[in-house]
Amino acid sequence: MLGVPVVAFTVWGLADNAKLFLSTAMNGLTLAALYFLVASGFTLVFGLMRNVNLAHGSLYLLGAYVGYVVGEWTGSWLLAVAAGFGSAALFGLVLQVAVFRFMHGEDLRQTLVTIGLSIMMADALLWMFGGEIYQFDPPRAIFGRTTLPIVEIYPTYRLVLLAMSAAIGVLLWWFLNRTRVGMMIRAGVDDRGMLAAAGVNVQFVFAVTFAIGAGLAGFAGVVGGTALSIAPGEDTRYQLASLVVVIVGGMGSVVGAAIGAILIGVAEQFGLAYAPTYSVVFTFVIMALVLAFRPQGILGRRT
Amino acid sequence: MSAADWRKAMNAGAGRYAWNAGAAGRRVTTHPSPRPSPLRGEGEVAAGAWARWIGRRVGARHVLVLLAVLIYPWVATPFFTYQIGAQSLALGLIALSLTFLAGYGGMVSLAQMTVAGIAGYMYAIFATSGTTEISLRWPWGLAVVLALVIATVCGTLIGWFSVRTEGIYTIMITLAIGVAFYYLAQQNYSLFNGFQGFQSVMTPAVGSVELRAPMTFYYLALFWSLAGYFFVAYLLRAPFGVALQGIRDNPRRMSALGFNVTAHRVAAYAVAGAIAAVGGILMVWYNGLVSPGSVGTSWLINILIIAVLGGMRHPIGPFVGAIVFVLLQNFAVDLVGRERFNLLIGGVFLVIVLFSTDGLLGWWAQGRRYVQGQFHRGPGAALTQRRGQ
Amino acid sequence: MKSLKRRLLWVAVGAAMLAAAVAGGATAQAPVVKIGLLATLEGPFAAGGQDGMRGAELAVKERGGMVAGRKIEIIKASSDAKPDVAVNATRKLVEQDKVDIMVGPLSGSEGIAVKNYSKTQPNTTFINGSSGAQATTLVDPSPNFFRFNTEGAQWMVGLGDYAYKTKNYKKMALIAEDYAFPYSQVQGFMTEYCRLGGRVTHKAWVPLGGKDYSSVIAKLPTDVDALLVVLGGADAVNFLTQYEQAGGNKPMVGGSITVDQTVLNFKGKRRESLLGTPSAGPIADRYEGADWKKFVAAYKENFKDGFPSPSLFAYVYYINMKAALDGLDAVKGDLSGGQAKYREALKTLKLKTPTGEVTLDENRQAIGNTFVTEVAKAADGEFYNKVVKLVPGVNQRLGMSKADFDKVGLGSRDVPNCP
């Protein structure tokens, strides 16, 4: 049912201006890669701990700024990336252990705490770093341009981003499906009570999950900030993007996050290219359609 | 099963915090209060029954508060009447819709300000404003009615989208819907006038009475706030409200009892939408303008902050929260430097969420319990404390 | 006896009070003049707002905190670029803090809202901060709202001529953000450019807040001579980076905030290709005018924590506050009679600003100078905006008569159009 208009549009687009169509498709995929990085952490945390972390965007920004500082200080972009991941993961770990651990089961209260935190963090970061824009300085090798068929020239960094996302996706899949901790996480997503009853240190699993989820946000902060610069307001933007991606893809499912990200990223870019005025509204239209016909998301499960 | 037994059963699962599926909020009484029926007996007996009913219900503090809000404009400066008083009442009304939905329906909707904004936008489009290409200049009464109807319908639609999922998911969905409307309003110039929004929205005059005058506007806002408050208080004791609270506590059981859970929830959104719409009209009159900024993320979250600040256990909560919020917003400059207002409000919010079970009202109740405990020292004290909730 | 003692006591008290009153009266000075100052100190515009406040404070400092024998008291307030917040902040300053003069706000739509509010406060004078929307003074102006700075459209006058005649760009494509300020900038440019015969064949209006220009870039036509880029700060940097990465090589013409200091100072090899980019605006970093150099020196000396060079916001707030104080000087601090004399003085004020003289038109909007600039490299390797032309006496109707301008209307997505 949905397939027909999509195929029709594809045929028309390719016939009309193949270069534009394909480059937009590539742009969509690479943007989706960034969205996936941010949303995967978000969905992981919700899936296991039922914690809608509305400070996820702030963690993105925190990782970006810390990564920037480290990058400036050491001159190494890779270290900046690592610092972005590490700082956000550490912050997330502290949050889980010091605050959320005591609010077990109180979903709304946890969310309210994350809202308060996001407001405070946004203002604190604005205070510390001001309203200026910050750009990263990645190695020349990944920041130039490559030649591709049909599209001709394409920014190398976006391809690197795509590759990184795919790698992280595979890594996450391997972690969740082939390690003990991953197995515990999956079990916890299915049934928290049983996990505890089986003698697993549930708090440990929670802490690890939150740290990973937050770390992913910080990692995305540096990686995304390299592509699109850091500025105040990015936190809200990526928070909303994660929200929409996860609603569409399904809560708690990493594969769902990938699918949702692709849908949303591609829709946004095609909207920008072919109907710029309402491009942002397209993504929300998709979300509304999913909510109307499949409220739990494409790969979500009915709780 | 008698009504009383059923109500007791519905409240059995209630937890300690107002935010859990079972709220310790306004407990429904286990014995129905005999409302005096004027049909029964002679006028004198009926009047006496009414007086007793009022005497049982209305306490000294209710009278005091009512007197205070009535006299307020006479003792306060026009600035305080308008910017502090009326704004608190209008914001409190919008937050009341959220308290109704969240505290009593268990659905936290961040789209209440969106509904209020839609009402404001519709009024600006139908009535007179500075944007003469779009505003239709219809009579203000018609514009108000149309705006209220459209906004309530939108609120119901939003509810329809949101009710098919449970609990915390609702926050996400309503936030996303709210942001979608923000972008729509910002990008569309033919209907919403995009980034500029509608400026110089005319506040009407009834005969020779300018509604924009501080005292008149304050009383208008007060009237609608009182109406909203009493309506919500009444609704909560009516079968619909009781069913709603039951659905909040245990939807599966209610469904098994034959209640249409989805219909009740959507109806709750409709009611909340209507209340928010009234608040939205008041806000557009207060501001004299409506723009995408009025329905952006920060205002969506601000309404939640107001509702949580005050407390979700009683319909007075959002008004208390609104007063605190507006005071902070206006006088934080003198305290801490307006640039760091967000840090301050975030901090206050965080403190209240972490350390109170239910906002300021929760602290108030805790304080009262403690004070009462001090006065009731004795073997029965512990028992009184626990039962006195 | 007791009553006599008591009476003596009362007389003593009375005498003491009288003495105090007389002493107080003797040392009493002329009342303080309270000026409210509103800027956007929250959100992404915070840096600009802070600099705006610095500019205003500089104007006060230059007079030593006194004007016409009265002490100046500045009461600050902040908004977050939302019109309803701005009006609330203004209302507090005017009705609660009882300021005599109001200077602010910062952004366009806030300005319109504050102008509407000013109509309800006929006894207070409102002077603009840096808000640059055309509609503030062109549509329904307020008799007590004054704007001594030129607005977005005025800032681009002269650039269209330069691009067409000197740079020889006959066909251009436009990339700009989709809201009021870029509309006015584009109108200022295109009114001249289209009249000369230039064509803008493609208009890409990017939604506000969009950071990803890849698809917009992919859609740009290849048969244009140059790009007209009206983006600010971070967005400009992003666009330039992405444009270069996508292999773009067309020259650019920038809006007033597209090639300012923040953009010129970011790292990346795109900077080299920025050399020669023309732009226009109310200031130019290294303008050789004596007054301008004095202003920059004063800014640098007074604000060690400020920017390396005063930003647009600092400059505009400076001249508006200077106007407020110069007006007070002209009426010798007399704000009586509902400030009527003060307003008359403001209307006829010939304001001396660091970039030239400013007068007001019939809508109390400034008529001032605009600089056309080009990006150049200084001897020390720094990039800056070199002045290539000074356009004097630019008015809000862009040189057209009232009838002609009203026919065209304010800038919007489709106005003006010459594809």
Domain-located, residue A204: yes
Tell me which chain B residue has its CA closest to the CA of residue C110. B196
Instruction: Give the closest-approach CA distance of B170 to chain A in angstroms.
Output: 10
**Residue B15: what pLDDT?**
39
Using CB atoms, pick whichever of A127, A243, A284 lies closest to residue B340: A127
B293 in contact with C at a CB cutoff of 8 Å? Answer: yes
Which candidate, B40, B35, B267, places its Cα nearest to that of B152? B267
pLDDT tens-place string over residues B290-334:
999 999 998 999 999 999 999 998 999 999 999 999 998 888 777
Residue B379 inside a domain? The answer is no
Domain total of chain A: 1
Full residue range of the structural domain in which residue B303 is found:
87-334
Per-range mean pLDDT, top range of A163-172, A195-204, C402-411:
A163-172
pLDDT at C383 over 90: no
Whether residue B291 and residue C207 make contact (CB cut-off 8 A), yes or no, is no
Does residue B31 surpass a pLDDT of 50? no
Which residues does B318 contact at the CB level (< 8 Å), separation at least 6?
A: B92, B93, B95, B96, B98, B99, B306, B307, B310
> What's the complex ipTM?
0.87
Residues in chain B with CB shorter than 8 Å from the CB of C89 are 338
CA–CA separation, B164 and A296 (whole Å):
9
Residues C4-58 have pLDDT tens digits of: 666 666 665 555 555 544 444 444 567 899 999 999 887 777 778 888 999 999 9
- Give the pLDDT confidence score for residue C3 in this predicted structure: 64
Q: What is the pLDDT of residue B20?
A: 42
Residue A167 is assigned to a structural domain of this protein: yes
User: What per-residue confidence (pLDDT) applies to B19?
Assistant: 44
pLDDT at A190 over 60: yes
Given an 8 Å threshold on Cβ–Cβ distance, is A106 in contact with B19? yes
Q: What is the pLDDT of residue B151?
A: 97
The interaxial angle of helices A234-249 and A107-129, nearest 10 deg, is 150
What is the model's pLDDT at position C225?
A: 93
Residue B284 pLDDT: 95
Question: Which comes out higher in pLDDT, residue C102 or B78?
Answer: C102
* R_g of chain C computed on alpha carbons: 25
Which residues lie closer than 8 Å to A87 by C-beta, 6 or more apart? A62, A63, A66, A67, A218
CA torsion angle B373 B374 B377 B382 (round to 10): 20
Best of C214, C239, C240 to mutate (most A CBs within 10 Å, chain A): C214
Chain A neighbors of B350, CB-CB under 8 A:
113, 116-117, 120
* Cβ contacts of B341 on chain C, cutoff 8 Å: 42, 78
Domains, chain C: 33-149+288-364 (3.40.50.2300), 154-281+370-408 (3.40.50.2300)
Contact A145, C247 (CB under 8 A): yes
Answer yes or no: do C246 and A156 touch at CB < 8 A.
no
pLDDT of residue C24: 46
Neighbour count for residue A303 (Cβ, 10 Å): 12
Is C212 in Cβ contact with A31 (below 8 Å)?
yes
CB contact under 8 A, A27 and C46: no
Residue A201, phi then psi, degrees to nearest 5: -75, 90
Q: How far apart are CA B188 and CA A5, in angstroms?
A: 25
Residues B126-149 pLDDT 10s: 998 888 888 888 888 999 999 999
Q: What is the pLDDT of residue B42?
A: 55
Q: Compute how many other C-beta atoms are within 10 angstroms of the C-beta atom of residue A302.
A: 9
Name the DSSP letter for residue B167: T
Decide if C190 contacts C418 (C-beta within 8 A).
yes
Cβ separation of A120 and B161 shorter than 8 Å?
A: no
Q: How many residue contacts between A and C have a Cβ separation below 8 Å?
A: 99
Residues in chain A closer than 8 A to B179 (CB atoms): 240, 284
**pLDDT class for A202, splitting at 50, 70, 90?**
confident
pLDDT at residue A158 tops 90: no
Q: Is C305 on the interface with A (CB under 8 A)?
A: no
Of the ranges A16-20, B153-157, C252-256, C397-401, the best mean pLDDT one: B153-157
What's phi and psi for C248, nearest 5 deg? -75, 145
Q: Which of A110, A112, A128 is the mutation pick for testing B, counting most B CBs within 10 A?
A: A112
- Contact of C5 with chain A, judged by CB distance below 8 Å, is answered with no
pLDDT score, position C309: 84
For chain C, give the mean pLDDT.
Answer: 86
In Å, how far is A20's CA from the nearest CA of chain C? 6
Looking at the domain assignment, is residue B174 inside a domain? yes
How much is the pLDDT for C87?
A: 94
Confidence of residue A76 (pLDDT cuts 50, 70, 90): confident
Interchain CB distance below 8 Å, A20 and C247: no
Lowest mean pLDDT among A291-300, B184-193, B351-360: A291-300
Cβ contact, residue pair C78, B183, below 8 Å: no
Do the domain assignments include residue A168?
A: yes
Mean pLDDT of chain B: 84
DSSP C205-236: EEPTT----HHHHHTS-SS-SEEEEE--HHHH
Q: What is the mean pLDDT of residues A178-196?
A: 83
| Chains in contact with C, where contact requires at least 3 CB pairs less than 8 Å apart | A, B
**Cα separations (Å) of B215 from B18, B80, B86, B223, B285?**
36, 10, 9, 12, 14
- List the single residue in A23, A123, A277 with the smallest CB-CB distance to C218: A23
Instruction: Pick from B20, B353, B354, B357 the residue to mutate for testing the A interface (most A CBs within 10 Å).
Output: B353
Task: Mutate one of A27, A35, A158 to test the C interface: name it (highest C CB count within 10 A).
Answer: A27
Q: How far is A124 from chain C (nearest CA, A)?
A: 11
What residues 128-167 of chain A have any CB closer than 8 A to a CB of chain B? Answer: none
Distance CA A186, CA A179 (A): 11
Q: Do C219 and A132 touch (CB under 8 A)?
A: no
Per-residue pLDDT at C214 exceeds 80? yes
Percent of chain C with pLDDT over 70: 91
Provide the pLDDT for residue B388: 44
List chain C residues with CB under 8 Å of B83: 88, 91-92, 95-96
Question: Mean pLDDT across the stretch A214-222?
Answer: 94
Q: Which residue of C has its CA nearest to A155?
A: C245
pLDDT of residue B389: 41
Query: Tens of pLDDT along C158-193?
Result: 999 999 999 999 999 999 988 888 999 999 999 999
Distance CA B123, CA A11 (A): 44
Out of A116, A288, A292, the one facing B353 most closely (by C-beta) is A116
Which residues make beta-bridge pairs with C383?
C377
Residues C397, C418: Cα–Cα separation, whole Å: 19
Say if the Cβ atoms of A288 and B161 lie within 8 Å. Answer: yes
User: In this structure, which amino acid lies at residue C250?
Assistant: K
Phi and psi torsions of C204, nearest 5°: -110, 105
Residue B34 lies in a domain: no
Percent of residues, chain A, with pLDDT higher than 70: 99
Residue A64 forms part of a structural domain? yes
Assign residue A128 the CATH number of its domain.
1.10.3470
Measured CA to CA, the distance from residue B114 to residue B97 in angstroms comes to 12
pLDDT digits (tens, 9 = 90+) for A247-298: 899 887 888 999 999 999 999 888 888 888 888 788 888 888 888 788 888 8
Q: Residue C231: its chain A contacts at CB < 8 A?
A: none
Which tokens belong to A206?
A: 């929670």
Q: Based on the structure, what is the number of domains in chain B? A: 1
For residue B172, the SS3 value is helix
Residues B11-37, mean pLDDT to the nearest whole number: 44
Q: How far apart are CA C338 and CA B273, in angstroms?
A: 45
Q: Which of B161, B345, B346 sits opposite A292 (nearest CB)?
A: B161
Higher pLDDT, A106 or A303: A106
Interface test with A, best of B165, B262, B295, B351 (most A CBs within 10 A): B165
Domain ranges, residue A180: 3-293
Contact C76, C37 (CB under 8 A): yes
Q: Is residue B349 part of a domain?
A: no
Is it the case that residue B18 has pLDDT exceeding 60? no
Interface contact C342, partner A, CB < 8 A = no
Question: Higher confidence at residue B53 or residue B141?
Answer: B141
Q: What is the per-residue pLDDT across B208-260, written as a single tens digit (0 to 9) for each?
A: 788 888 899 999 999 999 999 999 999 999 999 999 999 999 989 999 999 99
Nearest to B168 among A111, A240, A244 (CB): A111
Tell me what pLDDT residue A287 has: 87
Count A/B contacts: CB-CB distance under 8 Å: 111
Show which residues on chain B lie within 8 Å of chain A, measured between beta carbons: 17, 19-20, 102, 108, 161-162, 164-169, 171-173, 175-177, 179-180, 183-184, 187-188, 297, 301, 304-305, 308, 339-340, 342-343, 345-347, 349-350, 353-354
Percent above pLDDT 90 for chain A: 32
Does B14 map to a domain? no
Give the chain C residue whose CA is nearest to the CA of A132: C47
- Check which CATH number belongs to the domain holding B172 and give it: 1.10.3470
The answer to whether B98 touches B318, Cβ cutoff 8 Å, is: yes
Q: Which A residues 59-118 touch C at CB under 8 Å?
A: none
**Pick from C135, C181, C189, C141: which is nearest to C162 by CA?**
C189
Domain membership of residue A298 (yes or no) is no
pLDDT (tens digit per residue) in C114-156: 999 999 999 999 999 999 889 899 988 999 999 999 999 999 9
* Rounded-to-integer distance, Cα C191 and Cα C189, Å: 6
Average pLDDT, chain A: 86
Subunits adjacent to chain A (3 or more Cβ pairs under 8 Å) = B, C
Q: Which tokens hold the place of C177?
A: 């953000």
